């Protein structure tokens, strides 16, 4: 980068700050001069306007542009070939199947493990420490988690010292080292384990807070009725945290649908491990097939949308009950 380019970029930043300050000044001035009766509405409008503009530029327009590109070929002509490719090519179909497997396994196991852990450590002596240990993976980025688990699955040829935990155990018990990340379909399951490891802490924290919100009177009444621990869990705890369970399941499902970093870091989508988000990147930026990448983005949006709608409806019903 030359000196002139650097000065130009600095001037662009300064100009952007000046424009932003000018817009803020205009907003404040107009709010001060607005009629008292409608001042609240004007304040709301002007304060929301910058955010709405940013959403329109950074979210709405790109979404519209992506949808249009999904129905175009490389020449810019209208075409359904991008969607036909997704549902006819074996590699693309395998990508969709892998994504469905991720969405089925990750939310289920993460929520189940998080709930079990929250129940078992509830009101225990070292509860804070136990929670911190399980929640720690949430503080690690997906890329960092992928690198850590690559060492767990690391493979070296027979006769060499194994630095990967799984292969070290395999050799210690008389077995041969295995190329875990290249062996289909176990490699997909091993990648899913990484996501479960990360998301279990989130599920545990949310569900533990929900369990503590259950009225003590309900649990004591169930004990007086002669119920055992399992009956209290199924008839008191689970109904009491149903709303939190829905939130946890839907949140983890959305995060799983968008998973990219783990797959990209550990296998690059090779060996039949690719998912929709990774394949979208590969097609759009590696294979220069922008239409196919856009079609995958549209499919990803369609898959996420029902989960979001369901979550909103559940929260709305809970609000009406309260």
Q: Compute the distance between CA of residue 317 and CA of residue 200 in angstroms, rounded to an integer.
A: 27
Q: How far apart are the first and last CA of the chain?
A: 60
**Residue (of 254, 236, 243) closest to 106 by Cα position:** 254
At 78, is the secondary structure helix, strand, or coil? strand
Q: Which two tokens stand for residue 232?
A: 């209290």
Give the pLDDT of the chain (322 residues) as one tens digit per residue: 566 666 766 676 666 667 666 666 665 565 555 555 555 666 677 777 788 788 878 888 888 888 888 888 877 788 888 888 888 889 889 999 999 999 999 999 999 999 999 988 887 788 888 888 888 998 889 999 999 999 999 988 887 888 888 989 988 888 888 899 998 889 999 999 999 999 999 999 999 999 988 888 888 888 888 888 888 888 888 888 888 898 899 999 999 988 999 999 999 989 999 999 999 988 888 888 888 888 998 888 888 888 878 877 777 777 766 5
This prediction has a pTM of 0.81
List all residues 6 or more positions away from 51 whose beta carbon is below 8 Å from its beta carbon. Answer: none
pLDDT at 214: 86
pLDDT at 204: 93
pLDDT by residue (tens digit) across 191-215? 999 999 999 999 999 999 999 888 8
At 44, is the secondary structure helix, strand, or coil? helix
By the 10 Å C-beta count (0-12 exposed, 13-18 middle, 19+ buried), 299 is classed as buried
pLDDT at 24: 61
Give residue for tokens 């929250």: 118
């Amino acid at each position: 980068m030359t000196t002139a380019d650097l000065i130009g970029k600095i001037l662009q930043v300064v100009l952007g700050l000046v424009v932003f300050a000018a817009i803020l000044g205009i907003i404040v001035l107009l709010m001060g001069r607005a009629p008292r009766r409608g001042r609240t509405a004007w304040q709301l409008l002007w304060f929301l306007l910058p955010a709405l503009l940013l959403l329109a530029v950074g979210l709405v327009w790109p979404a519209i542009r992506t949808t249009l590109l999904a129905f175009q070929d490389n020449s810019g002509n209208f075409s359904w070939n991008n969607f036909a490719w997704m549902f006819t090519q074996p590699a693309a179909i395998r990508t969709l199947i892998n994504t469905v497997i991720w969405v089925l396994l990750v939310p289920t196991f993460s929520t189940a493990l998080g709930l079990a852990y929250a129940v078992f450590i509830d009101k225990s002596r070292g509860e804070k420490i136990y929670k911190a240990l399980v929640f720690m993976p949430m503080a690690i980025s997906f890329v960092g988690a992928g690198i850590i688990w690559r060492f767990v699955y690391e493979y070296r040829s027979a006769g060499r010292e194994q630095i990967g935990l799984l292969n070290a155990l395999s050799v210690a018990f008389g077995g041969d080292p295995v190329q875990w990340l290249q062996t289909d379909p176990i490699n997909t399951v091993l990648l899913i384990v990484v996501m479960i490891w990360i998301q279990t802490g989130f599920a545990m924290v949310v569900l533990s807070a929900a369990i503590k919100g259950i009225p003590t009177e309900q649990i004591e009444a169930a004990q007086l009725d002669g119920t055992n621990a399992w009956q209290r869990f199924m008839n008191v705890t689970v109904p009491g945290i149903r709303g939190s369970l829905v939130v946890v399941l839907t949140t983890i499902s959305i995060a799983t649908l968008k998973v990219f970093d783990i797959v990209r870091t550990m296998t690059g989508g090779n060996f039949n491990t690719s998912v929709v988000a990774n394949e979208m990147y590969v097609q759009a930026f590696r294979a220069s097939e922008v239409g196919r990448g856009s079609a995958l983005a549209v499919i990803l949006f369609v898959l996420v949308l029902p989960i979001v709608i369901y979550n909103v409806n559940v929260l709305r019903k809970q609000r009406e009950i309260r």
